[in-house]
Chains A and B, each alone.
Chain A
Amino acid sequence: MKTYLAATAAVSLLLSTVSAFPQAKASADNAPDLAYEAVPNFFQAPAGDYMGELQGVATNSKGNTFAFFRGPQTRLWQFGPDGKFQKEIGKGFYGFQFAHSVRVDRHDNIWTVDEGTNVVTKFNPTGAKVLMVIGHRPSQADGPYATPKGPNPPDEKYTLCRPTDVAWDQNDNIFISDGYCNNRVVKYSPEGKFLAQNGGSAVGKGENEYNLPHGLQVDHQGNVYVADRGNNRYVVLDNNLKWKTAYTQYGTAWSDCISEGPHQYLFMSNSNPNGNAPGSWARTGQIYKAELDGTPVGKFGHAGKIAPGWQVVHMMDCRNPNQIVVGEIESWRMQKFVLKGSK
């Protein structure tokens, strides 16, 4: 009976990931609209080359922007502060197979999260050197394995299962949301040693449980904010991954971002889902700006195929809370927005 239940749960998870999670209307949608401007065609690909599904966007302290995307190969591009393409990083790298996230730490090291190889990689600031890999890629000789069809295998300290995102506290401890087949948040030391986790391999909707932790960020106090996508909530944990609270008013929880500076803001994307039903664009797609305690400040943006609309926001960069970079899955592009404050 127990086996049967587990199998049923696994099958329903499989179905829901295939057909996309149902969209959720945000109950905070009466938050004020924020005035904003799109910077048209700010990022320029090299002539004759193309970006694919834009999974990851991040900026460093020097104003460079990084785009991690799924093309015929998974690729990592660097753009200058003027939006012009500068260089490609890690071309053909063994840890690139199916992009999911790129983030830049406070030392300007570039970190990629790849859910095809199950590896999180730390590059130095120029991208020329690999400083650390977390997780491990199965040998080619073991062949490709699909996401497990039965119950998820038990979680392990150093094995990631389609990880989704990475973040750090001010002591450089490493936090990873893991992921599409595990359902947990893991904390590692700056040297990559396992310290703690919250959640496990099983899917759940209670406290200390997740249904596809899809992104995460850490504030300056060390609190962890997890986009719990399948549960339509943003979960807040303390630095030791003890449950604090969850914000449930912001719709489908795809991705979050915490700005730098003395007053930090939390940006959350109620992304319009893959597989749109008629009318869904009217109900989802906006990005929310909130205080760290969850109080809404405002919202901006909308779903749409034509820029400056966006099609399934996968990640935001908000180092400067008034300059937001947005990566979209379905429109294969990265856009820059300037927030003007309340209308």
Chain B
Amino acid sequence: MKRLTTCLLAAGLISVPALAQTISYTTSQPLVLPHDTFFGAAAGVATNSKGNVFVYTRNGEPTITLGGSRAFAHGGSSLYEFAPDGKFIRQIGKQVYGFLAAQQVRVDKQDNIWVVDRYSSMVIKFAPDGRQIMLLGRKPESVDVPSSPDMGQGTPPGSGAQSDLFRSPSDVAWDGDGNIFVADGLANARVAKFTRDGVFVKSWGSRGSGDNQFKIVHGIAVDANGNVYVADRGNNRIQVFDNNGTFKSSITTGGDPVAICISPGAHQYLFSSNSNPVNDLDHGGEIAKLELNGTVVGKFGQAGKSPRDFGTVTGIDCRNPNSLYVAEIGNWRVTKVDLH
């Protein structure tokens, strides 16, 4: 009966009760790293059309070299690829200049792999074979030690500068034409739009709590009609914009979003993680499955360290809306979640 109800709910055949429906689920951790390799803070997870799984994780520390004039940072994060059964395939981009502090990984329609790095403030596009084919943003030349959270670039946090450089970006998404939308991010408070060839078109947003304003732009997703969904962490909402950045609505049924994901297919769903802060395992942590208009289909999970719990989810892959991967930055693991 429960299953039937879930099916009916999923199909939108019956109205959703005011109280959020709990979705039953099972978890597993199928990804197996080579011996003596470990996930650190697992920031992003994504699958390609073949079911291969990509994880971008902070599992080392940047090496700071003390130059004659300034200090320079290199390394600290890794991108791994796994087969659909969880077997390790390869590490991609071991010597890439922009891998410092993993924030997100996404795979586009053509199976290109996109990495968002918070510390180098870069978005890096890899071809399916692992070649580096497009770069957005530029890694700051040097770092301050100790660094300030906004990397000491001299502008106040939250400015929505009309620039093609980012400050602590958090996520990337594409519309059907291949236009690129970058969530920027943890230091800036804006969304930046590029053409598929990387031409900077425009950006919108500033720090605040009104329409068109963000507290922390923590995630981004685009639906089949080109609408842009922005996780506005701290303001407890997902803001929806049209393809040109005109505000349409706010969704407040998914908690305070950190990671969001829109599934492909004829009937698209919006997943939103009400992730617990890393220093609080006693509240929140659940993931909401929503219709694109914000109607709650159901919720599942809670904060914690046990196998069925979530420890600060920062990445969701929902290519298959009934079988998700979540990256937990607090529990240093990637969990597969099957919804029933």
| Chain A residues in the interface with B (C-beta under 8 A) | 88, 90-95, 97, 128, 130, 132-134, 136-137, 139-146, 156-159, 191-194
Q: How large is the interface on B (under 10, 10 to 19, 20 to 34, 35 or more residues)?
A: 35 or more
Which residue of the partner chain, among A93, A97, A136, A194, contacts B38 with CB atoms under 8 Å? A93
A166 to B62, CA, bound (A): 28
A139 CA / B76 CA spacing, docked (Å): 10
**Residues A139 and B38 in contact in the complex (CB < 8 Å), given A145-B146, A193-B304:** no
Question: Contact: B61 with A136, CB < 8 Å?
Answer: no
On whether A141 and B38 interact (CB within 8 A), knowing A92-B60, A193-B281, the answer reads no
- Other-chain residue from A139, A191, A192 in contact with B118 (beta carbon distance below 8 A): A139
In the complex, are the beta carbons of A143 and B145 less than 8 A apart? yes
A142 to chain B, nearest CB (A): 5
- Near A by CB (< 8 A), chain B positions 311-334 give 330-333
B206 at the interface (CB under 8 A from A): no
Looking at the complex, which one of A95, A139, A144, A192 makes contact with B305 (CB distance below 8 Å)? Answer: A192
Query: What are the residues of chain A within 8 A of B330 when measuring CB–CB?
Result: 133, 136
A105 CB, min distance to chain B CBs, angstroms: 16
* Interface contact A141-B281, CB-CB below 8 Å: no
Instruction: A107 to B77: give the CA distance in the assembly, Å.
Output: 32
Q: How far is the CB of B43 from chain A (nearest CB, A)?
A: 9
Residues of B contacting A97 in the complex (Cβ-Cβ under 8 angstroms): 61
Q: Check if B148 is an interface residue, CB within 8 A of chain A.
A: yes
A94 touches B59 (CB 8 A): yes
A156–B41 CB distance below 8 A: no
Q: Mark B32-71, 1 if CB is under 8 A from A, else 0.
A: 0001111111000000000000000011111000000000
Closest B residue to A93 using CB positions: B38
Chain A residues, CB < 8 A from B333: 130
Are A141 and B332 within 8 A (Cβ)?
no
Please state if B61 and A191 are interface contacts (CB–CB under 8 Å).
no
Identify the closest chain B residue to A133 (Cβ).
B332
Enumerate 26 A-B pairs (CB-CB under 8 Å) in ascending A order. A92-B60, A93-B40, A94-B40, A94-B60, A94-B332, A133-B330, A139-B41, A139-B101, A140-B61, A140-B100, A141-B119, A141-B149, A141-B168, A143-B145, A143-B146, A143-B147, A156-B279, A158-B280, A158-B281, A191-B304, A191-B305, A191-B306, A192-B306, A193-B281, A193-B304, A194-B282
Q: Is the CB of A94 within 8 A of B101?
A: no
Q: A139-B118, A141-B118 are in contact. Are A90 and B304 (CB under 8 A)?
A: no
Which of B36, B62, B144 is within 8 Å of A140, CB to CB?
B62
Given contacts A94-B41, A139-B41, A140-B61, contact A128 B147 (CB under 8 A): no
Answer whether residue B278 sits at the interface, using C-beta atoms and an 8 A cutoff: yes
Q: Is B151 an interface residue (CB 8 A)?
A: yes
- Distance of A29 from chain B, by nearest CB (Å): 44
Contact call A132/B305, Cβ cutoff below 8 A = yes
Q: Taking the nearest CB of chain A, how far is it from the CB of B144, in angstroms?
A: 8
Q: Which 6 A-B pairs have the closest CB atoms?
A: A94-B40, A143-B147, A192-B305, A140-B101, A141-B119, A136-B278
Complex contact B101–A158 (CB within 8 A): no
* Bound-state Cα–Cα, A142 to B118, Å: 10
Q: How far is the CA of A91 from the CA of B304 in the complex (A)?
A: 27
Cβ of A150 to closest chain B Cβ, rounded Å? 15
Question: Using Cβ atoms and an 8 Å threshold, which residues of chain A touch B62?
Answer: 140
Residue of A nearest to B147 (CB): A143
Chain B residues with Cβ under 8 A from A143's Cβ?
A: 143-149
Alpha-carbon distance between A192 and B332 when the two chains are bound, in angstroms: 14
B-side contacts of A134, CB under 8 Å = 305
Q: How far is the CA of A269 from the CA of B119 in the complex (A)?
A: 43
B186 to chain A, nearest CB (A): 8
